[in-house]
Amino acid sequence: MKVVFLSPHYPPEMQQYTRGLAEVGATVYGVGDTPVSSLPVSTKRYLSDYLQVPGILNETDLIPRVHAWLRGREVDRVLANWEVLVMTAAKLRERFGVPGMTVDQVRGFRDKQVMKERVVAAGLRAPRSYRVRTVAEAEAAAEEVGFPLILKPIAGAGSADTYRVDGPGDLEKVLGAMGHVREASCEEFIEGEEFTYDTLCVDGKPVYENVAQYLPPPLIARTREEINPIIITVRDLKQAKMQKGIELGHGVLDALKMGDGFTHMEWFHTPKGEAVFGEIGCRPGGAHLVDQMNYTSDIDLFREWARAVCWKSFEARAPRKYNAAIIFFRAKGQGRITRIEGLRSFLRDHGEHVAEEKLLPVGAHRRNWRQTLTSDGHIILRHPDWDRTRELAEQAAEQVRVFAGG
Ligand SMILES: Nc1ncnc2c1ncn2[C@@H]1O[C@H](COP(=O)(O)OP(=O)(O)OP(=O)(O)O)[C@@H](O)[C@H]1O
Ligand SMILES: [Mg+2]
């Protein structure tokens, strides 16, 4: 099993997938833009070969380079788990005639308008939406959709340039701020709680599934710095509410013709009890969601992903033992972290439930909370009871305080 894996070390969790591939017996060829001498030793040992390219995101340059590099070698898979590379991987697969999801299949997971059209065509509930390229198109779409509405880039990530628009005056302001976005989606605003639906699939069928709740919804967490956002995996997937999201998810996987690998979907649960599609990617959720899923069941999904994509099998037993909560912290103040309060007492009182504590240390520079959900570090805790998990997570978010200055 010979696997080309794009960007085997970045973002950092890719190193875990590289390890997984090697552990299930694959020969791993890495492609990245970091010099081989700067790759972590712990990753290099799992790579049989490595091609350094000038820019990993420069697809037109990368494809012929990889082609030339692999000439005369057999390749069984071309894989990527980083959102911005899933289409590049599909194009390489098509070029080499390697099995896996096609460019057209991947388009359904990358283009938010195509995605929703395919989901709606399958009879599933998604926000009404229009693709808009100009101010006039956006205004016309707003007429159709009504207020409040959401304007966001067609190929967005990290809630960047995503706006809730409450009225015509707002629309003008937002359109001014979105001038640099080439194509946007103008859609009906869905009120409700927000959840993920995550899977690892073989031939489009989940061999593993997960639901997690965002507290609060990402758009709110991404616009208010004073919030320490929480995400909790839901241990009990049998609840009727979760089943609605899971059923929707199954429909979406079929509608988009998912192949092998991870998916990360977002959905809303409305006050009327309806599950509404948000978006989906054919890659794992970021911001440590895979770690949270691993803590939920005490499994290693990095390795199981590799097994699924290489050998179409899943060998872990995955009992749902815990709700696993991650709390992302945002420091008060700018610059470097100066002190952390409340951590010691939280750990003293609840340390038995804490699986991971990775706050930035004093002296470290703050991360940009708008650009990365991981902000200034996190705590992961877990507990078998949902209400208790949520209570502990909210307590940590309240009690542990990180300060920066200078
Ligand atoms: N139609 C909608 N109705 C209500 N809220 C929405 C809608 N579309 C987007 N949002 C809010 O904006 C957030 C970001 O939107 P979306 O997930 O589509 O973009 P994204 O940039 O790909 O996000 P990310 O990469 O953070 O998952 C959503 O999580 C949700 O909170
Ligand atoms: Mg999203």
pLDDT at position 153:
86
Ligand 1 neighbourhood includes 251 CB (under 6 angstroms): no
CA 265 to ligand 2 center in whole angstroms? 8
User: Quick check: CB of 219 below 6 Å from ligand 1?
Assistant: yes
Strand-pair category, 275-281 with 261-269: antiparallel
Cα dist from 137 to 114, 175, 249, 320, whole Å: 17, 11, 31, 47
Mean pLDDT of 203-216: 98
For the record, the structure tokens of 86 come out as 């899933």
pLDDT over 70 (residue 159): no
How many angstroms from the chain centroid is the CA of residue 53? Answer: 25
Closest CA to 314 of 329, 322, 302: 302
Q: Checking DSSP bridges between strand 205-215 and strand 230-233, what pairing results, if any?
A: antiparallel
Write the residue with the smallest CA distance to atom 18 of ligand 1. 279
What's the confidence (pLDDT) of residue 371?
A: 83
Which domains does the chain possess?
2-100 (3.40.50.20), 128-188 (3.30.1490.20), 193-405 (3.30.470.20)
**155, pLDDT greater than 80:** no
Looking from the CA of residue 217, the nearest atom of ligand 1 is 31
Reported as a pLDDT band with limits 50, 70 and 90, residue 182 is confident
Please say if the pLDDT value at position 157 is more than 70: no
Q: Say which residue the tokens 């194009």 belong to.
A: 91
Please give the number of the atom of ligand 1 that sits closest to the Cα of 83.
Answer: 25
Average pLDDT over residues 354-373: 93
**Looking at per-residue confidence, does 175 or 299 come out higher?**
299
Question: Ligand 1: does its nearest atom lie under 6 Å from the Cβ of 266?
Answer: yes
Q: Is the pLDDT of residue 181 over 80?
A: yes
DSSP 387: H
Averaged pLDDT, 153-162: 74
Q: Is 158 touching ligand 1 by the criterion CB < 6 Å?
A: yes
Neighbours of 45 (CB within 10 A): 11
**Could you tell me the pTM of the whole model?**
0.95
70-83, pLDDT tens digit by residue? 999 999 999 999 99
CB 110 within 8 A of CB 86: yes
* Rg of the chain, C-alpha, whole Å: 21
Residue 194 Cβ inside 6 Å of ligand 1? The answer reads yes
| Terminal Cα-to-Cα distance of the chain (whole angstroms) | 52
Average pLDDT value for residue range 278-287: 96
∠251-291-76 over CA atoms, to 5°? 65
pLDDT tens by residue, 28-83: 999 999 999 999 999 999 999 999 999 999 999 999 999 999 999 999 999 999 99
pLDDT, tens digit, for every residue of 260-275?
999 999 999 999 999 9
Which residue shows structure tokens 């504590």?
357
Helix crossing, 103-110 with 86-96: angle to 10°?
A: 170
Substitution site in 113, 128, 150 for ligand 1 pocket (most atoms within 8 Å of beta carbon): 150
Q: Is the minimum distance from the CB of 186 to ligand 1 under 6 angstroms?
A: no
Residue 331 CB burial class (10 angstroms; 0-12, 13-18, ≥19): buried
At 374 the pLDDT is: 86
* Gap between the Cα atoms of 13 and 302, Å rounded: 9
Q: How far is the CA of 115 from the centre of ligand 2 (A)?
A: 13
pLDDT of residue 161: 83
Residue pLDDT, tens place only, 223-263 = 899 999 999 999 999 999 999 999 999 999 999 999 999 99
The residue behind tokens 């616009």 is: 223
Question: Residue 401 has which token pair?
Answer: 């305080």
At 392, the pLDDT band (50, 70, 90 cuts) reads very high
Cα 124 to Cα 376: distance, rounded to the nearest angstrom: 38
pLDDT at residue number 37: 95
